[in-house]
Chains A and B, each alone.
Chain A
Amino acid sequence: MTITEESPETTLEVGRARLRKEDQRLLTGRTRFTDNLSVPGMLYLGMVRSPIAHAKITSIDVAEAKASPGVIAVFTGADLADDVGPMPCGWPLSPEDKVPEYYPVAREEVNFAGEIVAVVVARSAAAARDATELVDVDYEDEQVVLDLEAAAAGSPYVHPDWETNVSTHWVFDSAEAGTGGDVKDEIDKARQDGIVLQRTFRQQRLIPAFMEPRSFLVDPTGDQIVFWSSTQVPHFLRLHRNCDKYP
């Protein structure tokens, strides 16, 4: 990451510290971060999200949102069912992975708090956000599981058909990976030497979250679709475009 050593003094071209060539725009506030861009006729998307972790969606009333000023359209999962398929898993770990059928906008059921249940398209970001508050969603609560260990141990299941909450099993063992000895052997050896230390370590969920908020701009008006995103994973993004049934 950041190198803090002083560069050695040298007159050679190789090994000499270089100044960055991309700084000028970044230093003066003239960079094209995604939210800084605009295209003709640009519209904004607002998301309606579930406040409930697990529930059946019994009804969604979008009439008031649709009538809200500046709103072009409101879509629920059911509205998009004919056009949008499930999102692919960008990083499968093994063929045995259990990958839920996950739609960009939930259809009949929400499986986590924050899942998108409707989207509003409007002429300004504020109008879109205002209208999301007018979408009326009725939920029928289902059982939730809030603890990772409890989830791994058994029901209630987030996806009942699977009869498990374990999506994948990823073993980090140097023997299995071929990079060293068996972890269990080492632990047994340590026990024989009289060292027994047991702790439970909880690691926060890993979310690579850069400073620039997640943002996307799509221009579908030409013969090709142009897609700007605040990520650095163009190939993943292309993969996710496959959930459009009419690419």
Chain B
Amino acid sequence: MTAVLRNVLRQEIDQATGRAGGGARDHPYGLHLPQAGTVASQPRILALRGDVHPESEWCMRISVAVDGVTYSDDVEPRTLLVQYLREGLGKVGTLVGCDTTSCGACTVHLNGLSVKSCTILAVQADGCEVTTIEGMANDGQLHPVQQAFHENHALQCGFCTPGMIMQAASLLNENPDPSDREIREGLEGNLCRCTGYQNIVKAVRQAAGTIQ
């Protein structure tokens, strides 16, 4: 797609979403996301299978605040938190790498603590606050951990990055001034296969300094 066509599309999306005036810069595809502090309007049925009726015994109503927006949805009890985030809310920034709690790509914050969202059921997050990688930047400003990853070449393919950043942010909440060893231990549940650990540790160290 040429840059010209892309700009036309952006303008159209901006107009359609009442967001004209170049606001699309925050979101490269001109996506219009709900603002933090708002409540999504109607409860929706988020059954993994189309045949499950929302009022049947199979579904449970949950209310979850994700990246500052509160959602009320009917979900199947077997729905994993990561499925709810990705398929239910469209928050595909949180990635599934292994599905077996090994790789950490799906790490999010649940009431401020890091969890692997492929190992938590959506119903367990009922009444909780969830922060994903999509909620880390504030007003177009990257979170210090995101900024440090950029400045230290702490990512290559970027697939481990959302989980790695969420875990690093959680680590720094618990230990604002970790040693290299503590950083490595804190990130041991997150795998990177572009062999970027050295620069990831460097980035977390820099972010610790920035936050302090």
Contact = CB atoms under 8 A, between A and B. Distances in A.
B49 interface: yes
Give the interface SS of chain A, mostly helix, strand, loop or mixed.
loop
Contacts of B197: 2
B63 to A, nearest CB: 22
Contacts of B146: 27-28
A24 B141 CA distance: 11
Top 5 nearest A-B pairs (CB, nearest first) are A29-B93, A26-B158, A69-B51, A126-B48, A211-B159
B184 to A, nearest CB: 14
Interface in A1-46: 1-2, 4, 19-20, 22-31, 33, 35-36
B50 A70 contact: yes
Contacts of B97: 211-213
A212 B157 contact: yes
A130 B29 CA distance: 34
Interface string B141-175: 01000100111010101111110010000000000
For chain B, the bracket of interface size reads 35 or more
A27 B161 contact: yes
A69 B58 CA distance: 15
Contacts, number: 106
B94 A124 contact: no
10 contacts: A26-B155, A28-B142, A28-B146, A33-B95, A70-B50, A123-B50, A127-B50, A211-B159, A211-B160, A212-B95
A20 B150 contact: yes
Contacts of B51: 69-70
